[in-house]
Structures are given as structure tokens and as C-alpha cells.
């Protein structure tokens, strides 16, 4: 009878553990997953607390930042904490990385970031070898400074880096010229597929370099092969309804060593689509 009592007593605890499972995770996809706050920029620019409350309402607790909405970094960190959100990574402008990396890293440290990165290398199209080499030097310098603070620098590829170079592309050159100890990369799946590249092959080609990933699906029927780094935000669709082979991508990401995943949904329907994306991720099998 004593054993029966103990078994019955465990039932509420097991139920609690199940209900406490992270949103978007399931039997295959384990995360950890968060939201790139740029997804809610329409709300955040007017009312930052409302955007953070919406993020928490999605069931997410991890975030990637894209600015602090005119708040000092320490105040923004406090606001995130007030809403039960933990900042993991953040994007900062390339020109600031180039001219004042120390100040950028001081802000990243004040926000409490583990990763501080860049989502766009300032350039005149088409992106070229000289600009790529300059960017690699900028990231290497920033990466060395960041390492002293316990922060890792990363670059978010945006599609234009797939210009041909030698036997590969300028993204290959960025990989080769940046120090793996100090510089990692963020794969935005849409910005790999839209230029006509294969995310699975890139994950396999550079294991351990892709620390972060943006989960973003491309609308079916949209032509790929463009190297512009720009597309219509209406092309962002709920994960699982677009062109991407998510079971293969997520399996390769797990094997490659991706540490954090962030939903970035730039569509006008973001508030409706994020819950559907989280449901897909919790049910995807690989």
C-alpha cells in the first residue's frame, strides 16, 4: 500500500513536468528555442513592454535582441527580466563593430548577452572579396575583445555572401578567414534557401561553426537563386508550410552543434503564425 501511495504521489509531479515542457519542443526537436524580437518590431517600437508580454504569452523565455528601443542597455535588461525573459544573443550594426567594438561589447555585457553579432555587412552590391576580407578582420578583432568578457561574436549570413569565389563562395572565405575560437555564425534558413543554397550541406560542411539558427520558412512558389539579401516579408510563412525540409535541417543542425534556435517571423501575421510554428516544432519528427 505504501508503494501505491508513492506512485500516486508522483502523478501530479509528472503532470507538472510535462506541462512545463518548453514551447516548441517535442520528441525530436529539443531546442532551446527563443524569439528574435525583431519579429515583433511593429509592436515593440510603440510599446516595448507589450512586445515582451506577447513573447512570454507565446510560451517563450529566451530572446535575441535587435536594439533596446531607446532604453539604456541595463534598463532594457531589467525590463526583460521583469517579463521573465532571458537575452541570449543580439544584433548590432556592422559600422559600429568596425568603429567602436568596445562600446558595442559594453552594451552587450550590460544586456547580459552570451552572443553579440552582426546581421548585415555594409557593402555596395555585389558583395566582393575585399569587403569580405575586411569584414573577417573586423569580426576577428571584435571576437578577441569579446572573449575577454566571456562573449562570443557571430555573423548572421544574409544571402549576398554566396557570390562565387574560387572553388566556393564568399561565405566560404568568411568561414576560412575568421577564427573559430572567437567567431561563430548564425544560419538563417530562409537566407540560405532563397539564394539557392542547401542548409543541410552547409551545416555538414562547417560543423561547430553554426552556434545559432534562425528558423524561418519561405513561401511555396517563391523563386530561389537570388543573391540580393532582400525579399518580401510576406514570403515568411509558418514553419512546415513553406519550401524547407525541416526534419532534415533540424537533424543536421543538431548534429552540427547548433546551440540556440530563434524564430524570426517578419510577416504581418507574426502574432498568429508563431503559435502555429511552435506547434509544428513540437510535433516534427526526425
Domain count, the chain: 1
Phi, psi at 272, each rounded to 5° = -80, -35
Q: By residue range, what is the domain housing residue 102?
A: 25-283
Report if residue 18 sits inside a domain.
Answer: no
Q: What is the mean pLDDT of residues 22-45?
A: 97
* pLDDT of 16 strictly over 90: no
Report if residue 12 sits inside a domain.
Answer: no
| CATH number of the domain within which 105 lies | 3.20.20.150
Report if residue 4 sits inside a domain.
Answer: no
Q: Which triple of cell numbers denotes residue 270?
A: 507574426
Report if residue 17 sits inside a domain.
Answer: no
Q: Which helix (H) or strand (E) holds 239?
A: none
Confirm if 238 and 277 have CB atoms less than 8 A apart: yes
What are the angstrom distances between the C-alpha of 176 and each of 27, 30, 76, 117, 209?
35, 30, 35, 18, 11
* pLDDT tens digits, 114-151: 999 999 999 999 999 999 999 999 999 999 999 999 99
Computed over every residue of the chain, the mean pLDDT equals: 93
CB-facing half-sphere around the CA of 78: CA atoms within 13 A = 5
Report if residue 1 sits inside a domain.
Answer: no
**SS3 at position 126:** coil
Phi, psi at 87, each rounded to 5° = -80, 130
Nearest CA to 224 among 198, 250, 185?
A: 198
Report if residue 59 sits inside a domain.
Answer: yes
Q: What's the pTM? A: 0.92
* pLDDT tens digits, 151-181: 999 999 999 999 999 999 999 999 999 999 9
Instruction: Centre a 10 Å sphere on the Cβ of residue 96 and count the other Cβ atoms it contains.
Output: 14
Report if residue 221 sits inside a domain.
Answer: yes
Confirm if 62 and 86 have CB atoms less than 8 A apart: yes
Report if residue 19 sits inside a domain.
Answer: no
Amino acid at each position: 500500500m505504501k508503494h501505491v501511495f508513492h506512485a500516486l504521489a508522483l502523478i501530479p509531479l509528472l503532470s507538472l513536468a510535462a506541462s512545463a515542457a518548453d514551447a516548441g519542443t517535442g520528441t525530436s526537436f529539443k531546442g532551446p528555442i527563443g524569439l528574435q524580437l525583431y519579429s515583433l518590431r511593429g509592436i515593440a517600437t510603440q510599446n516595448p513592454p507589450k512586445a515582451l508580454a506577447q513573447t512570454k504569452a507565446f510560451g517563450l523565455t529566451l530572446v535575441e535582441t535587435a536594439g533596446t528601443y531607446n532604453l539604456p542597455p541595463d534598463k532594457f535588461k531589467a525590463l526583460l527580466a521583469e517579463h521573465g525573459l532571458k537575452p541570449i544573443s543580439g544584433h548590432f550594426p556592422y559600422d559600429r563593430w568596425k568603429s567602436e567594438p568596445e562600446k558595442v561589447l559594453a552594451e552587450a555585457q550590460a544586456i547580459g548577452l552570451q552572443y553579440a553579432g552582426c546581421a548585415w555587412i555594409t557593402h555596395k552590391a555585389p558583395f566582393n572579396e575585399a569587403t569580405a576580407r575586411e569584414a573577417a578582420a573586423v569580426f576577428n578583432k571584435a571576437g578577441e575583445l569579446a572573449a575577454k568578457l566571456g562573449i562570443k561574436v557571430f555573423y548572421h549570413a544574409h544571402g549576398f555572401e554566396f557570390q562565387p569565389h574560387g572553388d566556393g563562395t564568399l561565405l566560404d572565405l568568411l568561414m576560412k578567414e575568421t577564427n573559430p575560437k572567437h567567431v561563430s555564425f548564425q544560419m538563417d534558413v530562409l537566407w540560405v534557401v532563397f539564394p539557392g543554397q542547401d542548409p543541410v550541406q552547409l551545416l555538414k560542411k562547417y560543423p561547430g561553426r553554426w552556434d545559432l539558427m534562425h528558423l524561418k520558412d519561405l513561401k511555396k512558389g517563391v523563386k530561389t537563386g537570388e543573391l540580393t539579401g532582400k525579399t518580401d516579408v510576406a514570403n515568411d510563412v509558418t514553419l512546415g508550410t513553406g519550401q524547407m525540409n525541416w526534419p532534415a535541417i533540424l537533424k543536421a543542425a543538431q548534429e552540427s552543434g547548433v546551440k540556440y534556435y530563434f524564430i524570426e517571423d517578419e510577416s504581418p501575421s507574426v502574432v498568429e503564425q508563431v503559435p502555429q510554428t511552435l506547434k509544428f516544432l513540437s510535433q516534427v519528427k526526425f
